[in-house]
Amino acid sequence: MIKNNYALKVSYIPDETAAADAPAVGGRRGFNPRGPPRQGSPNLGARPKLQSDVPLRMLVPTQFVGAIIGKEGATIRNITKQTHSKIDIHRKENAGAAEKPITVHSTPEGCSSACRNIMEIMQKEAVDTKITEEIPLKILAHNNFVGRLIGKEGRNLKKIEQDTDTKITISPLQDLTLYNPERTITVKGTLEACGKAEEEIMKKIRESYENDVAAMHLQSNLIPGLNLNALGIFPGAASGGMSPSVVSGPPAGAQAGYQSFGQPQVESETVHLFIPALAVGAIIGKQGQHIKQLSRFAGASIKIAPADGIDTKQRMVIITGPPEAQFKAQGRIFGKLKEENFFGPKEEVKLEAHIKVPSFAAGRVIGKGGKTVNELQNLTSAEVVVPRDQTPDENDQVVVKITGHFYASQVIELLDILELQKRAKFWASGLATDRRKKRKAPQCR
C-alpha cells in the first residue's frame, strides 16, 4: 500500500511521451521486450525524466508557512503529488525571521508548477487574513549566477521584465556573507506574470549553472575525489551542492569532504596568489575574522606574506591544501575582490598565481617547442610562464606563473598538478624498480 508520505520522495518523473521508446524493466541486455508492458505497472514503459540539478529556492513570509503546509501536512503533500516534486520547508532556519526559505526539487516544469501553487496559497491566505500588502515572489539565487541573469547593462533583466510585465529587483552585494552566498530576486506583478518571470529567471540561472559545470567538468575528471558540489560556488552550497535536500547549518566547508570511497587521497599543494595590496584588509577582515572563516570554509591554510616594501602594489597570499580546498579558497578570494570593487563592474578579475613543480617535470609543462603551454593558453585564455633560467630551490622545484581569471587559472593549476604528480610517481616507481632489479640481480662468480 502506498503511504501518503511517498510523494515527498519522488525524484524521477515518468515521461509519457517516451513510453514507446523505452525497454521494459528487467529485460536482458541485447534482447527486445517480449511485448508491451502490462497495464497497471506504473514504472514500466516510461523513461524517467531527471529532475533539474538546480532547485527552485523561494523566500516566503513566515506567517504563510502554516497555510502552505496545511493541516497535518495535507496541503504540501498535495502539491508534491500534483507537481511530482520534493519540497523542503526550512521552518527551523533563522528562528524568529520574518521569512523562511523553501526548496523545490523537480523538473523545471515541476518547480514552476509548485511555485504557482505556493503563490496561490499565499494570495488566498492574504485575502482571508485581510492583508492588503502585495505579496511578491522572492527567489533565492547564488551570487555567481546573478551577474549573468542581469546581463550586460541590465539587458537580460529588462527583457524579462518587459516580456512578463513585472518589476524585478535584486538585493545588493552588501547583504552577502561567507555563510550566505545567495541574493534575493524580488518579482512584483500579477500571479500569472510572476509565474512567467520565475520560468525565465530560473532558465537563465540553470543555463549559467550548466555552463559553469561544463567549464569545470575537465577538473572533476582530472582530480580523483574532486567534489564540484561541495566547492561552495554552486547553488545549494549550504548542503554541499545539488543534493536533493537543502539543510540548514554550517556552510559547505563544514562538510566539504563527501567521502570518495575507493579513491586515492589527493596530496596537498601550495599556491601563491597575488592580490592588490589595498585588498589585504578586506581579505583579513576585522580582527582576522574573515580569513579565519575562509580558512575553515575551504579546509586550507591561508596566510598573507609580509610586504616586500612600503610601496609594494601586490601582496602574496599563501594557500596550502588539496585541489578542492584550493578551488574553494581561491574562488572566494576572487569573489571578494569583485564584491569589494577592487575591479570595475565590467572588468574581469585576473590574478597571478605561482605553483611549484619538480624541475625534472617542468619541460613537460612547456612541451616540445612550447606546444603544451601554448595549447593550455589557447584553451583557457590564461597566461602561463615557465621561466627557463630558474635555479631549482632546495626541494629541486621551480615556479610556474599563471595569470588569468578564476576558472582559467584553476584548470591550468590542476592540469599541472595532475601531470606532475603522475610524472613524479612514475619517476619514483622507476627508481624503485631499478633498485629492486639491482638487489635481485645474480652475482657473477
Residue 101 near residue 62, CB atoms below 8 Å:
no
List pLDDT tens digits, range 124-141. Answer: 999 998 888 889 999 999
pLDDT computed for residue 264 by the predictor: 45
For the cut 50, the answer to whether the pLDDT of residue 30 exceeds it is no
For the cut 60, the answer to whether the pLDDT of residue 21 exceeds it is no
For the cut 60, the answer to whether the pLDDT of residue 399 exceeds it is yes
Sequence letter at residue 216? M
Task: Please state the rounded mean pLDDT for residues 157-162.
Answer: 95
- Answer with the residue of higher pLDDT: 169 or 245: 169
For the cut 80, the answer to whether the pLDDT of residue 204 exceeds it is yes
Cα–Cα distance, 84 to 107 (Å, whole number): 8
The structure's pTM equals 0.50
- Answer with the residue of higher pLDDT: 409 or 332: 332
pLDDT computed for residue 93 by the predictor: 72
List pLDDT tens digits, range 225-261. Answer: 445 454 444 444 333 334 333 323 333 333 333 333 3
Cα–Cα distance, 254 to 282 (Å, whole number): 23
Tell me how far apart the terminal alpha carbons of the chain are, to the nearest angstrom: 83
List pLDDT tens digits, range 59-102. Answer: 999 999 999 999 999 999 999 999 999 999 988 777 778 899 99
Instruction: For the chain, give the percent of residues with pLDDT over 90.
Output: 33
**Hey, is 243 helix, strand or coil?**
coil
pLDDT computed for residue 308 by the predictor: 85
pLDDT computed for residue 415 by the predictor: 57
- What Å distances lie between residue 301 and 283, 325, 402, 421, CA to CA? 14, 9, 20, 21
Residue 291 near residue 178, CB atoms below 8 Å:
no
For the cut 50, the answer to whether the pLDDT of residue 29 exceeds it is no
Band of residue 35 on the pLDDT scale cut at 50, 70, 90: very low
Task: Please state the rounded mean pLDDT for residues 10-21.
Answer: 43
For the cut 60, the answer to whether the pLDDT of residue 409 exceeds it is yes
Task: Please state the rounded mean pLDDT for residues 161-174.
Answer: 91
For the cut 70, the answer to whether the pLDDT of residue 207 exceeds it is yes
DSSP class of residue 106? Answer: S
Residue found under cell 605561482: 354
Residue 208 near residue 171, CB atoms below 8 Å:
no
For the cut 90, the answer to whether the pLDDT of residue 298 exceeds it is no
| Residue length of the chain | 445
pLDDT computed for residue 334 by the predictor: 87
| Domains present along the chain, CATH in parentheses | 56-218 (3.30.310.210), 265-430 (3.30.310.210)
Instruction: For the chain, give the percent of residues with pLDDT over 70.
Output: 64
- Answer with the residue of higher pLDDT: 120 or 312: 120
Residue found under cell 556573507: 177
pLDDT computed for residue 152 by the predictor: 81
pLDDT computed for residue 271 by the predictor: 92
For the cut 50, the answer to whether the pLDDT of residue 395 exceeds it is yes
pLDDT computed for residue 273 by the predictor: 94
Band of residue 371 on the pLDDT scale cut at 50, 70, 90: confident
Please provide the average confidence, as pLDDT, over all residues in the chain.
74
pLDDT computed for residue 169 by the predictor: 95
- Answer with the residue of higher pLDDT: 172 or 23: 172
User: How distant is the alpha carbon of residue 442 from its chain centre?
Assistant: 58
Give me the sign of the Cα torsion angle 292, 348, 220, 236: positive
For the cut 50, the answer to whether the pLDDT of residue 389 exceeds it is yes
pLDDT computed for residue 26 by the predictor: 44
Kindly tell me the burial class for residue 438, based on how many C-beta atoms sit within 10 Å of its own C-beta (0-12, 13-18, 19 or more): exposed
Q: Which of 185-189, 221-225, 292-296 has the lowest mean pLDDT?
A: 221-225
Most confident of the following: 314-328, 333-347, 370-384: 314-328
